[in-house]
Amino acid sequence: MVAIAIWYYVKKSDRIEEKENQIKIEKFLVDHKSHVPTRYSYADIKKMTNGFRKKLGEGGFGSVFSGKLPSNGVPVAIKVLKGSKGNGDDFVNEVGTIGRIHHINVVRLLGFSAEGGKRALIYEDMPNSSLEKFITSKDRSSHNTASFDWMKLRNIITGIAKGIEYLHQGCDQRILHFDIKPHNILLDHDFNPKISDFGLAKLCSKEDSLISMTAARGTIGYIAPEVFNGNFGTVSYKSDVYSFGMLVLEVIGARKESAVASANSEVYFPELTYKSLVQGEELDLELGDDGDAQIAKRLAIVALWCIQWYPVNRPSMKAVVRMLEGPSESFIMPPNPFASTTHTEPTATASS
């Protein structure tokens, strides 16, 4: 009897909590009516996915299904969220951020559904999946490897940088993503990168140099030191810059395994790259010619600027884009990112 009473109490509490979450979501949708995309019923979602027939992927958030818009048959990817996960904040973050913006390097949210505990998000279709798929050896067929020459990698990384720059400076409010990593970079049919998954994002005024946080957010291996160490009062847009730098180091192959594969990987592989560049040694990468070597060196130097220990020493994303697209002759080697006790003033090239 006691077990039954406990089960009944838990189920009742879950129902009350879910009702409160739905009220919160509905209030958000009413308050932001002019900024959110098209709303669909859950029955519409079921029709779009043909009864959830083709699953594209699955994670802690829920499942992604292939579908088509009812109005024009355009292919879409539909993320069906797990009703028992979280308190609706991820859903609100997604709709409240990318629901109001449009940029070539940010995935487009085309619609959503919210009925009780059933929630879904409708995105433009990304036929080439995520960047993570193309930088893990087990997924690299000869065809995919040929598609990813060094110029293509540079273009992809530059596109990601432009997307983050837009989030930081191009919107009415600054959007801090807090989970930049290869898995959250999607690729369209032309391999143009699109930043996705804004479930951890925060909005803040462009005038706010620092924001407050109550807990760390992000993925181990890509989280900036100030976030990982719990200095939540000193977190800024420079945390995204650090995550971008770690992503770049992984993409160029300077690290032999995923950033999250080992507890020490986020320290060892970037440090090895830094030492090689300082000592004038060739990077241990697959390089076709001198042009490839120059691109790899440029990307590595930019990444090492981005992962500086102190946020003030990291460049803005505007400066990162300039470094990626400008002449390589003006490049300056950054300070050692791993000498955390040494505080150095950033150069004009890096900070502006």
Contact 307, 242 (CB under 8 A): yes
Q: What six digits make up the tokens of 237? A: 């847009």
pLDDT at 264: 46
The rounded distance, in Å, linking the Cα atoms of 163 and 276 is 30
Q: What is the pLDDT of residue 259?
A: 44
| Average per-residue pLDDT for the chain | 79
Q: Is the pLDDT of residue 3 over 80?
A: no
Binned at pLDDT 50, 70 and 90, residue 274 comes out as confident
Across-strand partners of 222?
A: none
C-alpha–C-alpha distance, residues 283 and 312, integer Å: 27
> What is residue 346's predicted lDDT score, i.e. its pLDDT?
47
pLDDT of residue 216: 58
Q: 201 to each of 22, 48, 154, how far by Cα in Å?
A: 20, 28, 26
Of the two residues 109 and 211, the one the predictor is more confident about is 109
What's the rounded mean pLDDT across residues 196-209? 78
Burial 33-69 (b: 16+ CB within 10 A, else e): eeebbeebeeebbbebbeeeeeeeeeeebbbbbbbbb
Structure tokens at 70: 């009812």
Position 59 scores a pLDDT of 72
131-176 tens-digit pLDDT: 998 887 454 444 444 456 889 999 999 999 999 999 999 888 889 9
Q: Across residues 192-209, what is the average pLDDT?
A: 82
- Is position 179 annotated as part of the catalytic site? yes
H or E stretch at 292: helix 290-306
Q: What is the mean pLDDT of residues 179-185?
A: 94
Lowest mean pLDDT among 20-24, 177-181, 246-250, 278-282: 20-24
Query: With 90 as the cut, is the pLDDT of residue 280 above it?
Result: no
Mean pLDDT, residues 340-345 taken together: 52
Known binder of ligand: residue 79? yes
Backbone angles phi and psi of 310, in degrees to 5: -90, 130
Instruction: Go through the domains of the chain in sequence order and give each one's CATH number.
Output: 44-124 (3.30.200.20), 131-351 (1.10.510.10)
| Alpha carbons 261 and 221: distance in angstroms, whole number | 9
Under a CB-based contact definition with an 8 Å cutoff, are residues 333 and 273 in contact?
no
The fraction of the chain above a pLDDT of 90, given in percent, is 36
52-108 pLDDT, tens digit per residue, is: 999 988 876 789 999 999 989 999 999 998 764 555 777 877 887 888 788 999 999
pTM reported for the whole predicted model: 0.82
Q: Show Cβ contacts of residue 28 under 8 Å, excluding neighbours closer than 6 positions.
A: 92, 95, 96
> In the predicted model, what is the mean pLDDT of residues 252-265?
49
Q: Which two tokens stand for residue 319?
A: 């400066």
Question: Which residues make beta-bridge pairs with 64?
Answer: 57, 79
- CB atoms inside a 10 Å sphere around CB 258: 16
The number of residues in the chain equals 352
| Predicted local distance difference test score (pLDDT) of residue 350 | 47
Burial of 171 (0-12, 13-18, 19+ CB in 10 A): middle
Residue 100's contacts (CB-CB under 8 Å, 6 or more residues apart) are 32, 35, 36, 171
Distant-in-sequence, close-in-space partners of 185: CB < 8 Å, separation ≥ 6: 130, 131, 132, 156, 160, 193, 194, 195, 196, 247
Q: Please answer whether residues 182 and 250 qualify as being in contact, where contact means their C-beta atoms are separated by less than 8 angstroms.
A: yes
The pLDDT value recorded for residue 25 is 66
Q: Which two structure tokens, joined as six digits, stand for 296?
A: 């790899």
- Better-scored residue on pLDDT, 29 or 81: 81
| Catalytic one of 179, 240, 284, 289 | 179
